[in-house]
Amino acid sequence: MLVMKFLACDRWSRLAPVILVFAIGAIPIRAADNVIALKAQRLFDGKSKSFVPNGVVVVQGDKIIDVGSNLTIPGNAQVIDLGDATLTPGFMDAHTHLTLDYSSDYNVRRLKELDLNVSEQAIIATAHARATVEAGFTTVRDLGSRFVGSREFVDVALRNSINKGVVVGPRMLVATKGIGATGGHFDPTSGFRDFLFGREPDYTDGIIDSPDEARKAVRFEVKNGADVIKAAVSGGVLSLVDEVDTPQLTPAEMAALVDESHRLRKKVAVHCHGDQAAREAIDSGVDSIEHGSFMKPETLTRMKNKGVFLTPTLMATEWIMSKLENYPPALQAKAKAAATARSDMFRNAVKLGVKISFGTDAAVFPHGQNAREFKLMVDLGMPQIEALRSATSYDAELLGIAQKTGSLEKGKLADIIAMPGDPSTDITTTERVFFVMKEGKIIRNGPPSGTAAAKETNSEEVTAPVD
C-alpha cells in the first residue's frame, strides 16, 4: 500500500529511496542462497505413513522451497542425484549426553573424569558432536552434562559453538545439570569418600531436597542457558549407591519443578526406571519419561491419556548388557533387572499407542551409533515407518521445534539426510547414512570425515561402510 501511494505521486524524487531499498533487497545472490535439488529413488517426509517414489527436495539458503515426487527442477539448481537411496528429514535423538562418554570400562572412565581438565573434556566433546551429526542426527536433546567438582556448563558452550559455526555438530537443546536428590542417581559425589570434594552438592550442582530448592535449581539452570529441564525421579543403572527403581523426588518436589519449568516455557524430561516414580511424575505433568524400564501397563495407559512421551533408550541397556564385564557387580545386577523388564514394557507401550520419541542415551555407548536404536525398536514390535516418524516428526513435537524442522515440507529448515536402499524393508540402512545436510549446508556426502571415521574404527561395533 505504501508503494502504491508513492507511485500515485508525481514527485519521483520521493521514489528514489524506495527503489534503492528494493534494488538492494534484490541484488545479493549469496552463496548461501544457491538452489540445490536433491534427488533419490524414495522420499519419506517424516509425517506420512508411506514413502513417495522419485523424491525431490529443492533447497534455497537454509530452507526447503519445494518437495515431492517427480518435481520439475528449477533451471538454476545444482542437482545432486543420490540414486538408489531414501531421503528423509535429519534424524533427531531426544536423549544424548554429547559432552560425556561412559562407553568404556566404568572405573577407568571414572578415574579419567577426575584426571582430565574440564577444558580437555570439552574439546573431546567436539568429536562426539561431529560423529553424531555425520551419522545423520541433525538435532539432539542433550539431557545432562556435569563433571564432578566442576561448575562448568560444557553443554551450553558446545551448543553455542555449534550455533556459531565454530564446531560441526547437531542442533542441541541442552539441559545443563540433571536435577536430583541427595544420594540419588544424579548426585555427582555419590560413591566417593564423604566430603572428598569439600562440600555437599547443592542446587548449583542440580542437587535439591525440597520444593523450594527444586524451583531454585530450575531458575539457576535457565539463567545459565538450559533449553529443557532434566530430573532424576527414580534410581538409575550407572550410579553406585542407589537402587534402580526407588522413587527419588517427592511428588511435592516434582510438582514444584514442573510448575517452575513450565512457567519459564521449558519442557521437563525425567529419568525414571521405577513404576511408582513414573506414576507420580506423570501426575505432576512431566513431558517425557526417559527409560521407563519397569512401567506397568496401567502406568503406560496413564501416559497415553495425558500425552506424555516415552523415550525408551533401548541402546543404553543393549550396550551395557553386551559389555557387562566393564561394570562393577552392583551395576551389573541393576542393568540385568532393567534389561529384563524393558522389552515387555516397550512392547506394551507400542500396543497401547503411547507416544514414543526416539532417544538413545548416547554416551553410554560410543557417539555416532545412535541409529542402532531403530533396529531394536523394530525388533520389539514397532513398525519401521513408526520408528522413522519417531526420530523425525515425533521428536520435533516433543522438542517443541516442529514448526521449524522434523519434516520435509516447504518453509522448513533444510535438515535432510539420505541412506542407501529402503529403510521400510531394511531398517538397518539407517545405520549407513551417507548424505547429511543441516540448514542447507552439506556436512557429508560420502564417507565420514577423518574424525568420525576414526571414531567408527576405534569402536568395537563398527557400522558397515558406505559403498
**Strand 78-81 with 309-311, pairing:** unpaired
Q: Rounded to the nearest whole angstrom, what is the least distance from the CB of residue 150 to Zn ion in the complex?
A: 18
Identify which of residues 94 and 258 has a Cβ nearer to Zn ion in the complex. Answer: 94
Footprint (CB under 5 A) of Zn ion, residues 52-71: none
Looking only at residues 260 through 279 of this chain, which bind Zn ion when binding is defined by CB under 5 A?
Answer: none
Q: Residue number with the shortest CB distance to Zn ion?
A: 361
Q: Are 269 and 286 in contact (CB under 8 A)?
A: yes
400 near 21, Cβ under 8 Å?
Answer: no
Helix/strand/coil for 16: helix
Between CA 284 and CA 290, with CA 289 as vertex, the angle to 5 degrees is 145
Segment interacting with Zn ion, rule: CB under 5 A, options 325-333, 348-356, 358-366, 401-409: 358-366
Cβ atoms of residues 281 and 272 within 8 Å: yes
CB of 180 to Zn ion, least distance (A): 12
Q: Which of residues 311 and 429 has its CB atom nearest to Zn ion in the complex? A: 311
The whole-angstrom separation of Cα 258 and Cα 214 is 9
Cβ proximity to Zn ion: between 214 and 316 the closer is 316
Residues 6+ apart with CB under 8 A from 258: 268, 284, 285, 286
What is the nearest approach in angstroms of Zn ion to the Cβ of residue 142?
Answer: 9
- How many residues at the interface with Zn ion, by CB under 5 A? 1
Closest CB to Zn ion among residues 87, 371: 371
State the nearest-atom distance from the C-beta of 457 to Zn ion, in Å.
Answer: 26
Q: Which stretch binds Zn ion (CB under 5 A): 22-30, 107-115, 357-365, 394-402?
A: 357-365
Residue 95 CB, nearest distance to Zn ion (Å)?
6
Q: Which triple of cell numbers denotes residue 376? A: 531394536
**Least distance (Å) between residue 229 CB and Zn ion:** 14
Which amino acid, residue 296?
K
Q: Is 415 in the site for Zn ion (CB under 5 A)?
A: no
**Distance of alpha carbon 7 from alpha carbon 60, whole angstroms:** 32
Q: How far apart are CA 136 and CA 90, in angstroms?
A: 6
Between 110 and 304, CB nearer to Zn ion: 110
Among 242, 312, 260, 253, smallest CA distance to 280 is for 253
CB 376 → Zn ion: shortest distance, Å?
A: 16
Nearer to Zn ion, 273 or 432 (CB): 273
Residue 361 is a binding residue for Zn ion (CB under 5 A): yes
Q: How far is the CB of 319 from Zn ion (least distance, A)?
A: 12
Q: Which CB sits closer to Zn ion, 39 or 185?
A: 185
Q: What amino acid is encoded at 212 in this protein?
A: D
Positive or negative torsion for Cα 355, 356, 358, 363: positive
318/361 with CB nearer Zn ion: 361
Buried-state track 314-323, b at ≥16 Cβ within 10 A, e below 16: bbbbbbbeeb
Task: Tell me which residues touch Zn ion (CB under 5 A).
Answer: 361
